[in-house]
């Protein structure tokens, strides 16, 4: 078990990066391109939260962390909507 928070954050980032690569390599062959893109965006959102909390030290300022998480979440929802919009327009 890893006890150092920075090392745990690094391992988490590596796992999420690996998961993103695996999804991208499959190209959504088994579940479709839209789901693959949404999964990659979800992994990117999770990575951004780890970076904000651990590397930028926002875990010490919960109010700021909460605010950044809200803004980041809304931004990711906007990006997801823009990514999925062409599928709904057709």
Give me the residue label for tokens 């993103």.
20
pTM of the model: 0.86
Contact 44, 72 (CB under 8 A): no
Q: What are the residue ranges spanned by the domains of the chain?
A: 5-89
How many Å apart are CA 40 and CA 51, to the nearest integer?
A: 17
- Residue 46: both structure tokens together: 């999770």
> Mean pLDDT by 10-residue block, N- to C-terminus, for the chain (90 residues)?
88 97 85 88 97 93 95 96 88
How many Å apart are CA 6 and CA 83, to the nearest integer?
A: 32
Contact 65, 53 (CB under 8 A): yes
């Amino acid at each position: 078990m890893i006890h150092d928070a920075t090392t745990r954050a690094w391992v988490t980032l590596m796992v999420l990066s690996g998961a993103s690569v695996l999804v991208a390599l499959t190209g959504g062959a088994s579940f479709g391109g839209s789901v693959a893109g949404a999964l990659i965006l979800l992994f990117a959102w999770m990575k951004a939260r780890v970076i904000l909390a651990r590397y930028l030290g926002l875990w010490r300022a919960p109010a700021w962390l909460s605010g950044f998480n809200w803004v980041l979440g809304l931004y990711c929802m906007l990006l997801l909507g823009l990514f999925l919009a062409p599928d709904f327009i057709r």
